Amino acid sequence: MNWRVRALCRGDDPEMFFPIGNTTRGPGLKQTEAAKAVCGRCPVVRQCLDWAMESPVEGIWGGTTESERRAARRRLVRESLTDTAHV
């Protein structure tokens, strides 16, 4: 995982990337937006997201929340099943 040495979040407060509570409103949303803003400028966001999609990690990685990654995984499974059905 050598992409981590180029992570923009190195040196940031790690708690910012682990919002407590609801990430869709209130303080959790503000924290999530702040973390995503860092990810949005990060040179290794793609590598980080790829890793997070394959890892059962909590928090914000690759500019996504845990629930967003879960939803993306479900979408990928659905798409792959749909593709298989049309073969």
Q: Please check if 9 is assigned to a binding site.
A: yes
Q: Does 19 bind ligand SF4 (CB under 6 A)?
A: no
Contacts of 65 by beta carbon, 8 Å cutoff, 6+ apart: 19, 23, 32, 59
Q: Position 11: which residue type?
A: G
Q: Does 48 bind ligand SF4 (CB under 6 A)?
A: yes
Alpha carbon distances (Å) from 47 to 53, 60, 72, 86: 10, 14, 16, 31
Binding residues: 9, 39, 42, 48
Site residues (vs ligand SF4, CB under 6 A)? 7-9, 17, 38-39, 42, 44-45, 48, 61-63
Binding residues for [4Fe-4S] cluster: 9, 39, 42, 48
